[in-house]
């Protein structure tokens, strides 16, 4: 799970295993495999970096 911020400032957690696509035009839009759409403040690269960091913690067992 990664923590992101909606455009109105509300923080939420997202199951990054469900990310299908991420686009940036200009807002970052995340489409999940279940059809949900999330528009967030974070740039696309930051979402990618958070996802990679999350997976790295899981696979190296660094809780």
The tens digit of pLDDT for each residue in 20-50 reads 999 999 999 999 999 999 999 999 999 999 9
Query: Domain total for the chain?
Result: 1
**Degrees to nearest 5, angle at CA 61 with 29 and 19:** 15
pLDDT on residue 38: 98
Average pLDDT, the chain: 95
Domain coverage including residue 50: 2-59
Confidence category of residue 62, pLDDT binned at 50, 70, 90: low
pLDDT at 17 over 60: yes
Cα(9)–Cα(19) distance, integer angstroms? 21
């Amino acid at each position: 799970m990664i923590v992101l911020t909606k455009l109105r400032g509300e923080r939420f957690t997202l199951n990054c295993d469900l990310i299908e696509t991420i686009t940036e035009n200009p807002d970052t839009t995340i489409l999940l495999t279940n059809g949900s759409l999330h528009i967030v403040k974070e740039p696309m690269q930051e979402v990618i970096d958070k996802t990679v960091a999350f997976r790295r913690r899981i696979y190296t067992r660094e809780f």
